[in-house]
Structure 1
Amino acid sequence: MLLVYAEGELCVCEMTHALDQSQPKISRHLAQLRACGLLADRRQGQWVFYRLMPDLPRWAREVLEATVQGAELQIRSSRQRLASMGNRPERQITCC
């Protein structure tokens, strides 16, 4: 959740790389977060991208923001791994 919050939107392969975890483990956790109404997903070709649920309450976003700030070192290492990832999926530029 923190990495998705910090990045805005990520696909499974990006999270697998950034978190250094297996694809089935990442997918299982994402499915649980989606089922709880915390994450939304969208398909773009072969990729499935996850983002925070658009109607997530403000208080929940504030908790995520505070947690991201408090876990800055842990998030930073994941974001650095993500930045070093080759062949990241391209996102379509969407219009209104």
Structure 2
Amino acid sequence: MVHSLTPTQLSAGFHALSDPLRLQIIDLLRQRELCVCELCEQLEVSQSKLSFHLKTLKEAGLVRSQQEGRWIYYSLNLSQFVVLEQFLADYRRFSPIAPARTCQE
């Protein structure tokens, strides 16, 4: 298993995906880059609540931000999703090989 992320970074990525609101943010960003105000409006949450979740997603490397004037726009960092997907695919690859164990006494 060769991954470009440390176990801590992988854990941060999966943790970021464990919250329903963060999943909604990711789903909206799948369509296009959005500014904080658009995300707040579509998700019907306060900017302070949204900022906390965006920070978690950024720290996990799942989203990128770009400031334009007074607005910050967010987009997905697809390469990070590929790494998480590859990590899980390694386990899927082994599942048909490993037979079910039965206790023998």
Q: CA, structure 1 residues 20+57, in 2 after alignment: closer, same or farther (shift >3 Å)?
A: closer
- Aligned residues with identical type, % of pairs: 35
Q: Distance in 2 between matches of 1:9 and 1:29?
A: 16
Match of 1:19 in 2: 43
Match of 2:33 in 1: 9
Match of 2:66 in 1: 42
Structure with higher RCO (Cα < 8 A, 6+ apart)? 1
Q: CA, structure 1 residues 28+13, in 2 after alignment: closer, same or farther (shift >3 Å)?
A: same
Whichever residue aligns with residue 29 of structure 1, its letter is H
Higher Cα Rg, which structure: 2
TM-score (structure 1 length as normaliser)? 0.56
Structure 2, unpaired ranges of 5+? 1-25, 86-105
Give, in angstroms, the shift of residue 56 of structure 1.
2.9
RMSD (CA atoms): 1.8
Structure 1, unpaired ranges of 5+? 62-96
